[in-house]
Amino acid sequence: MESPDILSRMPSKRPAWIAIACVLWGGVLLALLLRAGLHPHRLSSLTTYLAGGARWSASQPLYTNWRGFIYPPVIAWVFSLLDHMPLAAAAVLWRFLTAGTFLFGLWALLRSGVFHRIPAGYRGIVFLAVLPLSIGNLDNAQANPLIAGLMMLAVAALQWQAWSLCALAIALATTFKIYPLALGLLFCVLRPRELSWRIALMLLGLGLLPFALQDSHYIAGQYHAWFQSRLADDRFHYPMKDAPLDLWYLLVRLGNLPISERAYTAAQVIAGCGLAAFVYHQVRRGAALRDILADLFLLVSVWMLLLGPATENQTYVVLAPAACLFGVRTLNGSYPVFIRVLALSAFTLLLAAVARNSLLPALKSPLYMAVQPVGALVLLAAVLGDLQQRPVTAPASPQ
């Protein structure tokens, strides 16, 4: 059953949404930057990042604590540049960079036409919706908004056929955390000739860059230590308070289901292969590139949080753009009521988790911590329901 367009019945004028979003985001960013500049010694993720940069400058071991600096050596070099700045300037600059990349990536994704079912006048609603889901990460100086922004920029660049920009965005995001590489590999299924070698070359260049900036023996030793620390990081056996908030958390930690680590790892790989099969099938049936990219962005975002290698409480900002984009998209057009309810429920659950973090940070019972992965599952159900509702087009000739 088709439902009326909710947005068309809203009393506000369309340009008002963008104006309101600009005012609110401008006020929030100004407050965050002022707070960072006035209180630069406040404990945040930047503290750990700058410590890694300081150890790089002093040629000291980077990986001494499993909860400390965990990024590859090239990221330590980046933060060594900030470490040479006054702390207040570094705190402001880093937050400006992460927020700017996040907002620019979202703007580029909307401008690219990938989510063309969202009218231009209502793009401001997306920015409004994503604000409460991302403000905590920005205030805490997390790298996750930067990664999310680079991923959105990569999707937009592929739609624009800006192959080098797309590859660079994927490589930069992957340098911080490994899971954006999944998006890059799926891009290679879509455009193998244009992107495969570019992404590989960008990753290789970023990986070799530290050897041109520091003593080669020191860099080789740090790479060895980094690989060893990542291999030893067994997240299956983390204490409950530090456990990744993913599907394993729901099924095994809370549900006590007898699932082995090997079986779960196989499920992660199979789900990733399923995404690749989905992309290939969509291309074969003649779906438009922008629609494939929109669905791929939504599904990959969910996969990264539910089945990715490292899902923490703050990582869910990566899912925020997908949840908001899909939610606003369901308000415009003929979407069944159950899909709209699921989309709104997913957003509400993610918002409830943010509220808990801000208002009740001591409330960390396992059930409350499960709100975020449950929200990801609900969003997955909404996206799959939307895919099932679409008419099937005739197959196109293979590209």
What residue ranges do the domains of the chain occupy? 7-389
Alpha-carbon distances, residue 52 vs 70, 99, 173, 199, 354 (angstroms)? 9, 22, 18, 26, 28
Contact partners, residue 26, CB within 8 Å, separation at least 6:
none
Radius of gyration of the chain (CA): 21
Cα 133 from Cα 316, distance rounded (Å):
8
Contact partners, residue 37, CB within 8 Å, separation at least 6:
88, 89, 91, 92
Cα 307 from Cα 137, distance rounded (Å):
21
- Per-10-residue mean pLDDT of the chain, 399 residues long, equals 48 71 96 95 92 94 82 95 94 97 97 92 93 94 96 98 97 94 95 96 96 95 92 83 90 93 94 94 91 96 91 91 96 85 96 84 82 96 90 46
The sign of the torsion formed by the CA atoms of 34, 39, 43, 48 equals positive
pLDDT of residue 8: 47
Half-sphere exposure of 332 (CA within 13 A, CB side): 18
Is the Cβ–Cβ distance between 25 and 106 less than 8 Å? no
Task: Name the pTM for this structure.
Answer: 0.92
pLDDT of residue 24: 96
pLDDT of residue 14: 55
